[in-house]
Amino acid sequence: MSAGVLSLADVHKSYNVGTPVEAEVLHGIHLELAAGEFVALVGPSGSGKSTLLNVIGLLERPTSGRVSIQSEDATALDDAGLTRLRGRSLGFVFQFHHLIPAFTALENVMMPLVIERGRPDPEMRERAMGLLDAVGLSAAAGKKPAQLSGGMQQRVAIARALAVRPPLVLADEPTGNLDTHTGDEVFALMRRFNEQHGSAFLIVTHDPRLAARCDRKIELVDGTIVGNAR
């Protein structure tokens, strides 16, 4: 198997810790993702999928256990260290694209690079234009999100997620707000980037058709992994 890009060891996550309403949402999660894997995360509503994705995405700290990204122990980092690791190692695609309305498609794709480097430069623009071309939207580079269809906005969001060439992309219901045909196109686009550039993908989806087309399916029920099948 390829080298690991993600490792979770005995991860627990609780909310309202130390209060009468303390609730544990994740119960001892063990999970490994290899570089270049394309994996579906499935499970019923309320099973803890979003919480798990937030922990993997370094947006929330686990209550206990270890989260490692590219062999770096994220649980040992301070907030600044988490921000740096997240910025260079992770890309995010959400059900709702979260593009910046005042920015053009090109500027939205460039944004992670600007955050990483501090200011725009010609290489950023060239890379962002290449990504827009790859998602079939080079002609829309100067358009703002309101001028684009839902499927086009999601393709811009995928290009943005790949701007820093992250080893791991986390996608939370990326096709959930799209019709079946457009959703299939977006899924195929993510698969193509996975195969061509080697970024691993972890995709939360309720669509069994899409989950079946992934390399592996991880099933989460009541905060516990109950299935992990290829």
Q: Where are the domains of the chain?
A: 4-229
pTM, whole model, 2 decimals? 0.84
Q: Residue 131 belongs to what H/E stretch?
A: helix 122-134
CB 111 within 8 A of CB 157: no
CB 219 within 8 A of CB 226: yes
pLDDT score, position 96: 67
pLDDT score, position 98: 78
Walking along the chain (230 residues) 10 residues at a time, the average pLDDT comes out as: 81 92 93 93 90 93 94 92 88 79 92 80 87 87 92 86 88 80 81 86 88 92 85
CATH superfamily assigned to domain 4-229: P-loop containing nucleotide triphosphate hydrolases (3.40.50.300)
pLDDT score, position 131: 85
pLDDT score, position 155: 84
Q: Which residues contact 203 (CB under 8 A, 6 or more apart)?
A: 38, 39, 40, 41, 171, 174, 190, 210, 214
pLDDT score, position 60: 93
